[in-house]
Amino acid sequence: DGGITQSPKYLFRKEGQNVTLSCEQNLNHDAMYWYRQDPGQGLRLIYYSQIVNDFQKGDIAEGYSVSREKKESFPLTVTSAQKNPTAFYLCASTSEGYGYTFGSGTRLTVV
């Protein structure tokens, strides 16, 4: 079945470390997105990519980086510059404006 796979489901980061969250889709979707979700809050857009080798900053891009070398993959790196990275991270993809398909999320915790 087609879908989006996020890994790992849980991730722990030490202070000063960079960590990378994986997002892979086999839906042949052109556009992919990363969102951050904090307790009791909505979704905040970090980065998005409409096409391979191109991506744009969302509302809260500081402290994060992405790449889009393949259509299927859109990894997110949480850098040490992100001072409050503990959150739930969601990846999504879409094609032709018919809504997003979401992954199951990665919960990142700073230890």
Partner 1 sequence: AQSVTQLGSHVSVSEGALVLLRCNYSSSVPPYLFWYVQYPNQGLQLLLKYTTGATLVKGINGFEAEFKKSETSFHLTKPSAHMSDAAEYFCAVTPTGANNLFFGTGTRLTVIP
Footprint on this chain of partner 1 (rule: CB under 8 A)? 4, 6, 30-31, 33, 40-43, 48, 50, 88, 90, 92, 94-105, 107
Q: For the chain, what is the HEC assignment?
A: CCCEEEECCEEEECCCCCEEEEEEECCCCCEEEEEEECCCCCEEEEEEEEECCEEEECCCCCCEEECCCECCECCEEECCCCCCCCEEEEEEEECCCCCCEECCCEEEEEC
Tell the smallest beta-carbon distance from residue 21 to partner 1 (Å).
13
Tell the smallest beta-carbon distance from residue 74 to partner 1 (Å).
14
Tell the smallest beta-carbon distance from residue 18 to partner 1 (Å).
24
Nearer to partner 1, 65 or 101 (CB): 101
